[in-house]
């Protein structure tokens, strides 16, 4: 397993439309293992393959919402290969989103509150499930990455430029 470098804005690779996985192989499973290691290390609750430079339609998510008696997060790893969204709810919900490719920047984004998702798991088996809450939000955020969209692309140009300026400033401070 390996922690992979995370691609950050304004890297043009984040604008790539990722291509479907045609067969789930050992190579796919190795990438997925590396994606989980990278996501847990970051730490983040989701990661799309393009965020580690691989333009394939693969996502990993772990909300880690549950804790054990010692207060340590209980792992709940979920893999989504070639995911599709069906039947998004008319009801929207606003969540303050962040992204490992836009480090330390957050903004309110409105998305459908619940969605039905269809996807393949790491064994190539198909799943279909109605998802809501943070999982629905996170899945939609990750699926945007597969289309080359980052959450700040949902903001007005003025708000997006504000976030990008703050990010540049934080990077300059870090480099100094």
84 classed as catalytic: no
Tell me if residue 147 falls in helix, strand or coil. coil
Structure tokens at 176: 């100094």
Residues 121, 144 contacting (CB under 8 angstroms): no
Token pair of 139 as six digits: 């899945």
Residues sharing a CB contact under 8 Å with residue 129, sequence separation 6 or more, in sequence order? 116, 117
By CB under 6 A, the residues from 109 to 128 that bind ligand GNR are none
Q: Determine if 83 is a binding residue for ligand GNR (CB under 6 A).
A: no
Residue 171, both tokens: 């990077």
- The reply on whether position 99 binds ligand GNR by CB under 6 A is yes
Asked if 142 touches ligand GNR (CB under 6 A), the answer is: yes
Q: Which is nearer to ligand GNR, 66 or 125 (CB)?
A: 66
Residue 98 touching ligand GNR (CB under 6 A): yes
50 binds, among Ni ion, ligand GNR, none (CB under 5 to 8 A by kind): none
Which strand ranges, in their side-by-side order, compose the sheet holding 58-61? 46-48, 58-61, 78-86, 114-120, 126-132
Minimum CB separation of residue 47 from ligand GNR in Å reads: 5
Which are the catalytic amino acids? Answer: 142
- Residues in contact with ligand GNR by CB under 6 A are 44-48, 51, 95, 97-101, 137-138, 141-142, 145
- Residues in contact with Ni ion by CB under 5 A are 99
């Amino acid at each position: 397993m390996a922690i992979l470098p995370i691609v950050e804005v304004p890297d043009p690779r984040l604008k790539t439309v990722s291509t479907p996985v045609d067969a789930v192989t050992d190579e796919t499973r190795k990438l997925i293992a590396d994606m989980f290691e990278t996501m847990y290390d970051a730490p983040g609750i989701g990661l799309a393959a393009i965020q580690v430079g691989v333009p394939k339609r693969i996502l990993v998510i772990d909300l880690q919402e549950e804790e054990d008696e010692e207060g340590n997060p209980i792992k709940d790893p979920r893999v989504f290969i070639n995911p599709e969204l069906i039947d998004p709810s008319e009801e929207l919900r606003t969540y303050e989103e962040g992204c490992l490719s836009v480090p330390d920047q957050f903004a309110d984004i409105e998305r459908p509150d619940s969605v039905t998702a269809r996807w393949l798991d790491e064994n190539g088996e198909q799943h279909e499930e109605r998802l809501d809450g943070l999982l629905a939000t996170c899945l939609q955020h990750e699926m945007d990455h597969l289309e080359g969209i980052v959450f700040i692309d949902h903001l007005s140009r003025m708000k997006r430029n504000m976030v990008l300026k703050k990010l540049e400033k934080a990077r300059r401070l870090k480099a100094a």
